[in-house]
Structure 1
Amino acid sequence: MRKLYALTIALSATLFSVVYSERALAQQKPADQVYALAKKNLTPDYYVLYRIVDKLARANNFATGSWRVRISEEYFLNGFADEANLIVVPRPAMSQLSGDADSLACMVGREFSHHVRKHKAIGPNEQAALKKQIQEEAIAAAQANENSKRGWGMGLGIVGGIFGVNTGGIQNVVNSNTDRATEKMIAEKEAELNKRIAETSARIEKEADEDAFIYLARAGRDPKGCIRYLDFISRDPKSEPNPSSPQIPGRIQSYRDFIDRESASKYKTEGNANLTRYSKPLTYAITDNGASLRVDSTKGSAAKQIDSF
């Protein structure tokens, strides 16, 4: 009898808890209801990223299209932009920055910038392909000179036959000079490529850093989170296009100079206007293959639009 009584009490308490939770949810503002359900349905990391993307997108008028976020299990520290409106966030960064929402917002904001500006970074695979192309072009140029070398050989052979002189040594010098010219051409072209990669990388990263300041200010986040984020990724050599000549320390100083010149308040005013215009939280869904989170545009998902026909 006591067991039956205890079970009845336990079931009643559970039922009361469920009813109370539903009533509490119903009494919340519509936006808070969306966030409460998101917190319940998403993993903690994806919930944090959903809230960041939702706020940044609406505050910066980037919510007319959908965005995707994927957490990567690979070990690197900086996020990156990929495919169409996809932001890839490494789990180690999520873990180590879990107590700093402004730094996480900076990571996401910088990838917003790369997508919005259509930045095209020259990645490791592309660099390898370009260097291979340089080598092939230099070798082709050397082969084009082969006829000239043969002409030298024939001419020298005739001269040697007439005058009884061994011209083989002269021919070896010609071959050696041609090989050195090919090596010099490859070295010069690779140096030019490396310089172009460094200049392009410095430009697009500077633009993304400064855009992140604006995006965070509009969303009411602290733009100084970017200083902490840049300092954080500087610990990973893979974050540098050329680890032997790191750019991030200079970027941090450049960013400090930028925020000293800029006023966050004017951007916050712009952001508040955008948030008033787009007051409803963006809807979301886990993609079909479960590999990423999709944050819908202000129009919502296509499925919901179809249902309203």
Structure 2
Amino acid sequence: MMKKLTFAFIGSLLLSSQLPVLAYPHVSTSRGRIQQDAASLEVQTHYQLTKKKLPKKNNVQPQQPKKTADPYQQAQQKFKALGQALNQNWEEWFWLYRISEKIARANGIDERPWRIGIMPFFVINAYATEINLVVATSGILDQMHGDDAALACIVGHEMAHNILRHQPLSSYINASLQAKFAQEAQQEIDQLIKKEQQRYENWKLQNIIVSIIAGSRFSSLILGSDGRPNPQKIEAQKQEIIARKKQEYQATFLESERQQEFEADKQGYFYMATAGYDPQGCLRAMDILARTQGAEFDTTHPNTPARIEALKKLMQEYPAQSLAAKGTANLRSRPNPLTVDLAIKPHVHPVSETKTITIPTVRINSKFASQ
């Protein structure tokens, strides 16, 4: 039979227990004393058995994620100051810089500095000139506002003109043709002088009596009435010959110019895609150019529909994803943007044969100067 659970019985159990907390030899058999000691023992026993299991309080506060500094912040402040100094939209300058420097780093064409400039005209245009200078108009920046990929295609195209040395080649071709025309014109003039002098001698023999009696005079395109070469007549005839030859060679020269544009479109696409921009940006850029006057005709540039068709074929042959890996690696190896130097250098742009405009340009430093 189960013994009745009395305070005396509980006390006897506690006295016989082997728990390490029996450091109570003074346990009394009195009912009140046993009850008090039993309660105290229960609390202390529970503490002894559980204190090692209680997790320690962690007073370490969780670390807040560090805010990543904007790598373009310093350049942004510089362009704000530039905008105030020039009374121009600093955001356009900053945008053009940001796209240009990223393309340069991604494609490894940052060993030499680049220069950028903005022509404050609301026309759709951009061009490359001098050495590594890219100029965009306010008009084209306005129409492409917010479309990084479209501007990247335009910037890549103009950078390609510089890298491929199209302007020096065009200048060389033009100068060579001018020299060739002048040489050929002089050869024709020399032959014409000989021919006219022979004609003069024949005329003099046939008309010597008539010329004495009637005062007849010899007439020639390049000789005087005395049969001698006339400098004014010779120069006028020479310029006519040069103009005719220019007209004959104009088609060949323009074809060379158009071929350079196709080359710049191709290389510009490579540049922008390697930098990680959406290749469709090139088609959007061409759509803007297609709305300009004369875009459908072949002049110094191919007609825009032909350029769009060539770009579409290029995108199929060289998908943007296959080009971006190289750019990603280059950007990782050179994570910091190229710095900018706001020492303004004026660029004189011919607006017409008799008028020029001075455009401020700033320098994007090379990777060496940016370290």
Compare CA radii of gyration and give the structure with the larger one.
2
Say if 1:111 and 1:40 are closer, same or farther in 2 by CA, change over 3 A.
same
Shift of 1:80: 1.0
Shift of 1:285: 2.6
Higher RCO structure (Cα 8 Å, ≥6 apart) = 1
Shift of 1:292: 2.2
| Pair 1:101-2:101 in alignment | no
The CA distance in 1 between the partners of 2:244 and 2:181, in whole Å, is: 10
Residue 122 of structure 1 contacts residue 197 of structure 1 at CA under 8 Å; is this kept in 2?
Answer: no
Letter of the structure 2 residue corresponding to residue 98 of structure 1: H
The CA distance in 2 between the partners of 1:224 and 1:79, in whole Å, is: 19
Residue 77 of structure 1 contacts residue 239 of structure 1 at CA under 8 Å; is this kept in 2?
Answer: no
Q: How many residues align?
A: 269
Give the equivalent residue in structure 2 for 1:48.
95
Give the equivalent residue in structure 2 for 1:38.
75
Say if 1:64 and 1:243 are closer, same or farther in 2 by CA, change over 3 A.
closer
TM-score normalised by the chain length of structure 2? 0.60
The CA distance in 1 between the partners of 2:177 and 2:157, in whole Å, is: 27
Shift of 1:134: 3.9
Shift of 1:40: 4.0
Give the equivalent residue in structure 1 for 2:273.
217
Residue 124 of structure 2 contacts residue 139 of structure 2 at CA under 8 Å; is this kept in 1?
Answer: yes
The CA distance in 1 between the partners of 2:182 and 2:296, in whole Å, is: 25
Which runs of no fewer than 5 residues in structure 1 stay unpaired? 1-23, 164-170
The CA distance in 1 between the partners of 2:78 and 2:115, in whole Å, is: 17
Give the equivalent residue in structure 1 for 2:363.
294
The CA distance in 2 between the partners of 1:99 and 1:34, in whole Å, is: 20
Superposition map of 1:163-174 within 5 A: none
Q: Hey, which of these two has a bigger chunk of helix by percent?
A: 1
Residue 212 of structure 1 contacts residue 226 of structure 1 at CA under 8 Å; is this kept in 2?
Answer: no
Give the equivalent residue in structure 2 for 1:265.
321
Give the equivalent residue in structure 1 for 2:105.
58
Letter of the structure 1 residue corresponding to residue 310 of structure 2: S
The CA distance in 2 between the partners of 1:51 and 1:207, in whole Å, is: 24
Shift of 1:44: 0.7
TM-score normalised by the chain length of structure 1? 0.71
1:120-159 deviation line (CA, Å, top 9, x unaligned): 27889x9699679847953773365223212113214424
Give the equivalent residue in structure 1 for 2:158.
111
Query: CA-atom RMSD, angstroms?
Result: 4.1
Shift of 1:38: 3.0
Superposition map of 1:1-40 within 5 A: 27-29=66-68, 32-40=69-77
Shift of 1:98: 0.7
Which runs of no fewer than 5 residues in structure 2 stay unpaired? 1-63, 80-89, 211-217, 223-233, 347-359
Give the equivalent residue in structure 2 for 1:141.
188
The CA distance in 2 between the partners of 1:185 and 1:95, in whole Å, is: 46
Say if 1:232 and 1:127 are closer, same or farther in 2 by CA, change over 3 A.
farther
Say if 1:221 and 1:242 are closer, same or farther in 2 by CA, change over 3 A.
same
Residue 121 of structure 1 contacts residue 201 of structure 1 at CA under 8 Å; is this kept in 2?
Answer: no
Give the equivalent residue in structure 1 for 2:255.
199
What is the aligned-residue identity percentage? 28
Say if 1:84 and 1:127 are closer, same or farther in 2 by CA, change over 3 A.
closer
